[in-house]
Amino acid sequence: MDMANLSGSPVHKVGFPPRRNFARGLTDGLKETFFADDPLRPYKDQPRSKKLLLGLRFLFPVLEWGRDYDLSKFKRDIVAGLTIASLCIPQDIGYAKLANMEPKYGLYSSFVPPLVYAVMGSSRDIAIGPVAVVSLLLGTLLRAEVDPVNDVEEYRRLAFTATFFAGVTQAALGFLRLGFLIEFLSHATIVGFMGGAAVTIALQQLKGFLGIDKFTQQTNIVSVMKSVFSSASHGWNWQTILIGSSFLALLLVARYIGKKKRNLFWVPAVAPLASVVLATSFVYITHANEHGVKIVRNIDKGINPPSAHQIHFTGPFAAKGLRIGMVAGVVALTEAVAIGRTFAAMKDYQLDGNKEMVALGTMNVVGSMTSCYVSTGSFSRSAVNFMAGCQTSVSNVIMSVVVMLTLLILTPLFKYTPNAILSAIIISAVIGLIDYEAAFLIWKVDKFDFIACVGAFFGVVFISVEIGLLVAISISLAKILLQVTRPRTALLGNIPGTSIYRNIEQYPEATRVPGALIVRVDSAIYFTNSNYAKERILRWLRDEEEQLKENCLPKIDLLIADMSPVTDIDTSGIHALEELYRSLKKRKVQLVLANPGPAVIEKLQLAKFIELIGQDKIFLTVGEAVMAHAPNTMEEA
Amino acid sequence: MDMANLSGSPVHKVGFPPRRNFARGLTDGLKETFFADDPLRPYKDQPRSKKLLLGLRFLFPVLEWGRDYDLSKFKRDIVAGLTIASLCIPQDIGYAKLANMEPKYGLYSSFVPPLVYAVMGSSRDIAIGPVAVVSLLLGTLLRAEVDPVNDVEEYRRLAFTATFFAGVTQAALGFLRLGFLIEFLSHATIVGFMGGAAVTIALQQLKGFLGIDKFTQQTNIVSVMKSVFSSASHGWNWQTILIGSSFLALLLVARYIGKKKRNLFWVPAVAPLASVVLATSFVYITHANEHGVKIVRNIDKGINPPSAHQIHFTGPFAAKGLRIGMVAGVVALTEAVAIGRTFAAMKDYQLDGNKEMVALGTMNVVGSMTSCYVSTGSFSRSAVNFMAGCQTSVSNVIMSVVVMLTLLILTPLFKYTPNAILSAIIISAVIGLIDYEAAFLIWKVDKFDFIACVGAFFGVVFISVEIGLLVAISISLAKILLQVTRPRTALLGNIPGTSIYRNIEQYPEATRVPGALIVRVDSAIYFTNSNYAKERILRWLRDEEEQLKENCLPKIDLLIADMSPVTDIDTSGIHALEELYRSLKKRKVQLVLANPGPAVIEKLQLAKFIELIGQDKIFLTVGEAVMAHAPNTMEEA
């Protein structure tokens, strides 16, 4: 059948897409933008009662999976829940310090939010609670507004306000189906940002780890290192260093064991709590706290007190809380959604990003009214949860119950816990956030991505967490805009023995067609690149003509533009094509288009460009365009 | 030869591009971004003296075209120069008022800058001087900082400071080869912005046109209309209205004649000056100025005084001047480059955007030191220049000389010129900026472009010039980002009688391949869309499988991803492909790629994705992928 093509006679017509009116086009576009996952599909052709039920199930996935829940699943959830509880309690106490809050607020934040998430969330593997990076970010942003030491009350109010608005932001993003906005944080950016945050957090721990009294308020590496070295002569406490470093070594060994043998995953998971118990007993017995070893001191007994009345809903503090909440909320979302997606892909279930955001947002709004600060899904605890064999978010409920019992009964036991052990636990936890393998892969695959990654890393380490985030987002957006501004172009040649035309740089065996230049623009043609694309095509032509002249070959009289990758065009793009057509006409070169897509052909027709160059100058493939031109070339040659 | 393909046996290998090292890749990328026009090509393999000469010619194109200049060209340039001079003198006086400056500064700005441009500019058709939109923009921005009525001296100093920094910005953009940044103002945006500015300027003229004393400082339509109607009872002057409207009618008729008969282009070009002469004589004879008709009064005699000492180079006013200058400079550039490109395309010569920017920037820096405010290429005067047959920028020199003579000798004659005639001239000039035909075409071709256009228009008309500009740029960028976030995807089918596969929506005759789903993603796969692309492909698959189930057809076991339009991929994109591969594997669907481009195949190999899915799962075309799969389908069916 293809022989027909080779003889050059029957040329296939380029199809026009069915005309859509404006409203239809707009609806389709909006639907694809905001409802890409088609969330309303199950509701189609259902009676109203069924729709209500489906809607409830949508909001509260527990109604969905709760029906199939059984004892065997519960058993596995209990194991997973107990494991993550033992990991989360010491982490919570440490992370609260990163946010400049008392330890109990870390525990509070691991009690209420997981319960809300268990009802509304749809990830089965995520473990909810405070996380290191968000705690640090929140602490840094809040401290810029209120002094956490001298104005504890106001600081806490602003923290709850920020948490409230973080929740509102998250829920709003999900509800307005703007979840795709967080995709503007690229993988490379997140790797860099997380790595930078981990280094910053680890550096902050030097305070507790070395037992330094006077420590900088800044988070950048230069200030921290100055603080550390200026206190070296008098401010370090050897007992503290001894406790910290021996337990850090223990934790790192546990981490290593867990990594090497997957069935020993519980070793690094319970190691922190075991270390806390050991270190606390040691201090209690040796009275090391009387020799300069700082301890946690009292943690109030009792579960979360209500805090709704402490939130600023109006006034300047509300505005500050909104700004801080938006930043912290988006970063928290990014972490939770990334984790959720990773584990959903592993177990092959669908995760609705927008729905997750509503769940996480509601969880933080409820949290802000029950003395919690921003919680989200934690990398380290979720991984443990997954490996411990969690089946549903019931494991979060188990963890929450354990935290509650701790708050009610066990808090006095933490009195003699040395701060150094908490620092050691945080350091060993955040080390996992430094993903140098991913960074190396990024370097290998895409240098520009690597620049974004490194930019985020250094921004966080050398300046501050917010600046690092800003740098990373700016580089990522600049990358997109740059690539939209300077699309690739390629010259095509015929692959011998076929009617296929491909990039001659990629396929060196491809042969050029005498008298014709075949150019492909590898991008939609928009206002950002329309002039460049036009000029670039003319430059290909000039370069080519110069070479032909040198070799005394016949000149080019046909320019075939392969439009296959040109997925869309706007009015500026059509202008550029018109100018290209006119420039080529002056040089006696015929412009021919091959394989324009539906959006392009429709717009070219509306703008009367097809009338301008002639319906017969548009071909289905480059091959057919060459065939149609072949007789002319022969005559002229 | 193609028969070989049909039988399914010899499959063509996908080519790998030659490996480039990082430095080479980076250099190529930077070169394509900043030196897309390859400006150094003529210097290659030339002796040093020749290089110097070429460099001088590059900076001063007059050295290039000056050698071929002759009497016949000079004659045509004189005609064109005199025509634009007669148009520019009354415009200059009016535009200066838009910038809240005395009339003489408009004339100054048509004297020095055209001379500088004549030496450094490379457009042959552009006519330099103050323009309506930039004058209005500058006036609005400056008035927000300094009161132009009560603090004339400081206002003027800030105007020169802004002009200086506008020039520096323009030259810097050109010198740093960042000229492509102005392409972020799309055609649609410019149409809307210009239209809105024209309406705003015309509304401002109601003050002079109706002879109103108390007029709002705001430029938005609501404030202006309030001013107009509140003054209706007492503030309008019928003599002024009579003069204004009769001459406006005259000018519009002249405009109409010029549009209908191209050889009468000089009618609208000389009509303004003729009107000024007529109206001035009329006022002088009838003493209408004693009956409330406002007149220009004295314009100082003499050419531009130096003003370098008035520029603020440091301090808070320098910062303000910098900000205003950057905005005004970029808008001025956009207008000049758009005009330059339009006429260059008509006469088919190349225009180096970056070089033009250096010329325009130098011109404004020199202007700021010789009592000029921001000048640029004017739409209306350049069109007249072109139609009057200008050959080179010598026509600008002629215009400049006429303006100089006017400043030296004729200014006293403008004393009795009524303001109403200047308003009429400005209105008739800016009407040409309202390009409703372009707006209609944009509406027809691309609705999103139209939203940007209308957004810019309403932003300028209802709020202010700066806000309109901001709205327009934001919408344009949002469009790009949205389209990068939600690329089109398509299902492909076989065009009967060929081995070509195309979008089944565009080609309804295309037939589906049983047991296989062929999907094409119409965009580079980046972090912004990688998740969407993955989910969308899985949705296509789910939809398809549901349909097949209903019709009891064999299930799908092959998913061919046509990568032709996927021009690039980043690490997030590769992750998404890996996740897609795993999801498909769980469903027992084989993933196969067709025609990946050079950048994609290189990165997929570096990331070991090709190892993952297998080298034999990558095909040159969709057709070959289908062929290779065909035997399996048969077995299973």
For the four alpha carbons of A428, A430, A432 and A438, in that order, the dihedral sign comes to negative
CA closest to B522 among chain A residues: A567
Percent residues over pLDDT 70 in chain A? 93
Cβ within 8 Å of residue A62, ≥6 positions away: A118, A119, A120, A393
Chain A residues near residue B530 by CB distance under 8 angstroms: 183
pLDDT at A168: 96
Report chain A's C-alpha Rg in angstroms.
31
- Three-class SS state of B221: helix
Angle, alpha carbons B50-B56-B61 (nearest 5°): 120
CA distance A389 to chain B (A): 20
CA closest to B530 among chain A residues: A183
Any idea which residue has 């046509």 for tokens? Answer: B562
List the single residue in A531, A574, A575 with the smallest CB-CB distance to B183.
A531
Closest CA to A201 of A427, A436, A454, A420: A427
Any idea which residue has 């949705």 for tokens? Answer: B539
pLDDT at B349: 76
Query: What domains appear along chain B, each with residue ranges and CATH number?
Result: 72-481 (no CATH), 487-636 (3.30.750.24)
Contact B571 A488 (CB under 8 A): no
Contact A571 B495 (CB under 8 A): no
pLDDT at A11: 62
For the four alpha carbons of B404, B405, B409 and B412, in that order, the dihedral sign comes to negative
Q: In the β-sheet with B501-503, what is the strand arrangement from edge to edge? A: B501-503, B489-494, B516-521, B558-562, B590-594, B618-619
Cβ within 8 Å of residue A628, ≥6 positions away: A8, A11, A619
Tell me, yes or no, if A588 comes closer than 8 A to chain B by beta carbon: no
Within 10 angstroms of residue A459's Cβ, the number of other Cβ atoms is 24
Contact A486 B33 (CB under 8 A): yes
> A150-202: per-residue pLDDT in tens?
999 999 999 999 999 999 999 999 888 777 777 777 788 888 888 898 898 88
Chain A residues near residue B449 by CB distance under 8 angstroms: 570-571
pLDDT at B62: 84
Contact A582 B345 (CB under 8 A): yes
Report chain B's C-alpha Rg in angstroms.
31
To the nearest 10 degrees (0 to 180), the angle between helices A132-143 and A152-175 is 120
Closest CA to A626 of A544, A561, A545, A529: A561
Tokens at residue A348, please? Answer: 């092959």
What's the ipTM? 0.76
- Give the mean pLDDT of A114-136: 92
Average pLDDT per block of 10 residues along chain B, 637 residues long: 41 66 70 69 75 81 85 90 89 90 93 94 91 91 90 94 96 84 78 88 86 80 86 78 89 88 83 88 85 80 91 91 93 86 76 87 96 92 86 93 92 85 86 87 84 90 84 80 80 86 86 89 84 88 86 86 87 88 89 88 89 89 85 43
Closest CA to A265 of A424, A388, A380: A388
CA closest to B599 among chain A residues: A506
List the single residue in B187, B500, B536 with the smallest CB-CB distance to A36.
B536
SS (H, E, C) A259-322: HHCHHHCHHHHHHHHHHHHHHHHHHHHHCHHHHCCCECCCCCCCCCCCCHHHCCCCCHHHHHHH
Chain A residues near residue B497 by CB distance under 8 angstroms: 1, 4
Contact A568 B341 (CB under 8 A): no
- Give the mean pLDDT of A81-100: 89
Give CA–CA dist B203/B98, Å, rounded: 11
List the end-to-end C-alpha distance of chain B, in Å, as a whole number.
30
Within 10 angstroms of residue A226's Cβ, the number of other Cβ atoms is 13
The CA–CA distances, whole Å, from B70 to B77, B169, B392, B400 equal 11, 36, 11, 20
Tally: H helices and E strands in chain A: 27, 8
Read off the DSSP letter of residue B428.
H
| Residues in chain B, overall count | 637
B-facing residues of A in 169-188 (CB < 8 A) are: 180, 183-188
Tokens at residue A572, please? Answer: 């500026």
Q: How far is CA A587 from the centre of its chain?
A: 50
List the single residue in A15, A184, A571 with the smallest CB-CB distance to B442.
A571
Closest CA to A130 of A156, A174, A97: A97
Chain B residues near residue A347 by CB distance under 8 angstroms: none
Please name every residue paired with A177 in a beta bridge, in sequence order, or none if there are none. none
Burial annotation B413-434 (CB, 10 A radius, 16+ → b, else e): ebebbbbbbbbbbbbbbbbbbb
Give CA–CA dist A49/B102, Å, rounded: 75
Contact B188 A527 (CB under 8 A): yes
B-facing residues of A in 534-563 (CB < 8 A) are: 535-536, 539
Give CA–CA dist A134/A116, Å, rounded: 19
For the four alpha carbons of A374, A376, A382 and A386, in that order, the dihedral sign comes to positive
More confident residue, A444 or A400: A400
Cβ atoms of B570 and B558 within 8 Å: the answer is: no
Maximum C-alpha span of chain A: 103
Cβ within 8 Å of residue B309, ≥6 positions away: none
CA closest to A605 among chain B residues: B445
